[in-house]
């Protein structure tokens, strides 16, 4: 990278202490940019280098009131106009335009200045380093007559750092520049510089925003309103508003909501995800942890798609917490109860009633569900359809009258509990069932003679299970230790398949599953494999579950 300013051949090897101006504290900031100039010093003759004074060289990286005659960095000629337009927007935003310029650029409002800079940096990544250098220049030895010029330049830098990364070449200089300013308590800009540094580190880690921000978002951030009140749903319909900034990623929201329900360990937080539910879309996919929330919402709003964001537990590896706040129980209860009532947790051997233990559990859970709804009167026979899994009610035996008797027998103990205690007890009872904590997917598996057979695929901490669709008896079970890899395959007609390779390095078998949610299945398998590997505290076998 080369910084050329108004003197394309400028080098920095011959800095001397007897220049025309003494170096000030702000001049030290310029040294970071001046280091960039050293890159091509070997290409210049000594006589050429000695032509420049300290003042001439440092002025290139100090604040200036006038327009640039050329970009600060060596850019292709086609990028010079947008680079200079960005500098005009920077100066306009900071209030540094001359009177004659203000007359020409009357349309440069604060919002338009910010939006123009962001649009150029989004469209042409090569301009990002240029704009960063322009802002470092305008925050170095700022002598503007506008009282808040320097502070506004820092604010614009914080906005840019929340959206875009810089090149690897500029990165050490930019980080050092921001770190020095953020560490110096004598500077009025210290707080904003710290925000810049935090935003840049987040952007470097997560890659920066992918979509162009909305005008409403730019209007808010240019006015200093960096947080937006975004609504997030919890299972059961509860809602929480979380301040969401332009640099907020999905993992930030997951962490905050986990903190709200009392989940503090990083390993346990990895079991929770944020999902985006789009109206009319049958498939639901979790959002990646490094995805920017406002990238997602802006894209959907532009397409006029109704949507909502919901926080759920997607992996059930850690046991149920007994020391968590009531909201933890509320979230998990509202996630488990619908699956239970739908019959997804139930196993019916040969299509008949389950064993006596499961029947007792179902009667107890029925009474607890009635109490969990806040009801104080004993349940009636007509309430059973809300208290028992659908497959149990469809059986010839036990009949409804017997179920009513069993549930009534459990009611006195259930009534003594508060609704939150009843919900916690439901979770404790169901946690003993083999399919508790499973994620369920409809899949098809090829049988003999090319025939496809329907299955329910269940993923839980015990492995991958292919279940009979009606009885939920296990047809095939693969523990995660037997999984070698998963591979997503899309046919020419768009059908999505998942190839599951199991066995050992010596003997392997591949099973092809047709699954519309193959991506989510593969993601959850990877997550379970990683959790079990971490729990063993040993690298184990090298498996490539992709």
pLDDT digits (tens, 9 = 90+) for 132-176: 999 999 999 999 999 899 999 999 999 999 999 999 999 999 999
pLDDT of residue 282: 67
pLDDT tens digit string along 98-132?
A: 888 877 888 889 899 999 999 999 999 999 999 99
Task: Find the mean pLDDT for residues 294-310.
Answer: 89
Say if residues 182 and 190 touch (Cβ distance below 8 Å).
Answer: yes
Cα-flanking dihedrals φ and ψ of residue 170, to 5°? -80, -25
**DSSP 8-state class, residue 377:** S
Residue 323: both structure tokens together:
């020391």
**Tokens in use for 376?**
């104080």
- pLDDT exceeds cutoff 50 at 25: no
Q: How distant is the alpha carbon of residue 226 from its chain centre?
A: 18
Per-residue pLDDT, 5: 46
Cα distance between residue 303 and residue 276, in whole Å:
15
CATH number among 3.10.20.90, 3.40.50.740, 3.40.50.970, 3.30.9.10, domain 227-313: 3.10.20.90
| Residue intervals in the chain for CATH 2.30.29.30 | 439-536
Which whole number is the average pLDDT over 257-284? Answer: 90
Structure confidence by residue, pLDDT tens digits, 475-527: 999 999 999 999 999 999 989 999 999 998 788 999 999 999 999 999 999 99
Q: What is the pTM of this model?
A: 0.81
Domain 326-430 has CATH 1.20.80: yes
Cα separation values, 332 from 234, 235, 272, 285, 374, Å: 10, 8, 11, 19, 18
Residue appearing with tokens 């060596």: 74
Give Cα 442 distance to the centre of its chain.
27
CATH classification code of 25-222: 1.25.40.530
% residues pLDDT > 90 (the chain): 69
DSSP 404-436: HHHHHHHHHHHHTS-HHHHHHHHHHHHTTSTTT
Angle of helix 400-415 relative to helix 356-372, nearest 10 degrees? 60
Domain(s) labelled CATH 1.25.40.530 in the chain stretch across 25-222
Q: State the span(s) of the chain assigned CATH 3.10.20.90.
A: 227-313
The pLDDT-based confidence of 11 (bands split at 50, 70, 90) is: very low
pLDDT of 534? 77
Starting from the edge strand earliest in sequence, which strands make up the sheet with 272-278, in order? 239-245, 227-233, 307-313, 272-278, 285-286
Q: Where exactly does CATH 1.20.80 map onto the chain?
A: 326-430
- What fold, for 439-536? PH-domain like (2.30.29)
Q: Which residue has the higher pLDDT, 107 or 414?
A: 414
Round to whole Å and give the CA distance between 110 and 94. 9
């Amino acid at each position: 990278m080369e910084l050329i300013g108004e003197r394309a051949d400028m080098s920095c090897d011959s800095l001397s202490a007897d220049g025309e101006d003494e170096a000030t504290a702000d001049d030290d900031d310029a040294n970071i940019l001046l280091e960039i100039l050293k890159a091509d010093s070997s290409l210049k003759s000594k006589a050429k280098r000695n032509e420049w004074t300290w003042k001439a060289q440092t002025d290139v990286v100090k604040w200036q009131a006038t327009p640039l005659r050329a970009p600060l960095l060596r850019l292709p000629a086609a990028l010079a106009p947008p680079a200079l337009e960005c500098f005009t927007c920077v100066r306009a935003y900071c209030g540094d335009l001359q009177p004659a310029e203000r007359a020409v650029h009357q349309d440069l409002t604060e919002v338009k200045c910010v939006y123009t800079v962001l649009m150029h940096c989004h469209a042409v990544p090569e301009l990002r380093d240029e704009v960063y250098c322009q802002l470092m220049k305008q925050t170095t030895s700022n002598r503007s007559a506008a009282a808040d010029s320097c502070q506004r330049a820092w604010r614009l830098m914080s906005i840019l750092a929340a959206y875009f990364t810089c090149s690897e070449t500029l990165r050490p200089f930019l980080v050092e520049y921001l770190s020095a300013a953020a560490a110096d308590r004598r500077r009025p800009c210290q707080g904003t510089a710290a925000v810049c540094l935090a935003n840049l580190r987040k952007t470097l880690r997560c890659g920066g925003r992918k979509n162009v921000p909305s005008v409403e978002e730019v209007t808010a951030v240019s006015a200093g309103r960096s947080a937006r009140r975004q609504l997030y749903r919890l299972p059961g319909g509860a809602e929480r508003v979380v301040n969401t900034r332009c640099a907020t990623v999905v993992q930030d929201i997951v962490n905050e909501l986990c903190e709200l329900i009392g989940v503090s360990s990083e390993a346990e937080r990895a079991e929770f995800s944020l999902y985006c539910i789009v109206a009319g879309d049958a498939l639901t996919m979790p959002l990646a942890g490094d995805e920017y929330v406002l990238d997602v919402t802006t894209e959907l709003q532009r397409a006029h798609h109704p949507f909502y964001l919901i926080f759920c537990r997607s992996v059930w590896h850690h046991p149920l917490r007994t020391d968590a706040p009531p909201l933890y129980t509320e979230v998990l209860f509202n996630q488990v109860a619908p699956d239970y009532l739908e019959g997804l947790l139930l196993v019916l051997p040969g299509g008949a009633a389950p064993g006596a233990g499961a029947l007792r559990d179902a009667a107890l859970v029925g009474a607890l569900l009635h109490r969990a709804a806040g009801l104080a009167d004993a349940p009636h026979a007509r309430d059973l359809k809300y208290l028992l899994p659908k497959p149990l009610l469809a059986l010839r035996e036990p009949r409804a009258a017997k179920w009513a008797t069993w549930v009534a027998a459990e009611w006195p103990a259930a009534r003594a509990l508060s609704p939150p205690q009843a919900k916690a007890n439901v979770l404790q009872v169901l946690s003993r069932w083999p399919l508790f904590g499973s994620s369920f997917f409809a899949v098809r598996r090829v049988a003999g003679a090319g025939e496809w057979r329907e299955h329910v695929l269940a993923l839980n901490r015990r492995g991958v299970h292919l279940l009979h669709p009606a009885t939920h008896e296990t047809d095939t079970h693969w523990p995660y230790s037997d999984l070698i890899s998963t591979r997503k395959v899309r046919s020419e007609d768009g059908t999505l398949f998942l190839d599951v390779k199991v066995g050992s390095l010596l003997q392997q078998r591949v099973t092809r599953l047709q699954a519309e949610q193959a991506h989510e299945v593969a993601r959850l398998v990877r997550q379970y494999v990683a959790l079990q590997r971490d729990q063993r505290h040993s690298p184990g076998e090298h498996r490539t579950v992709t």
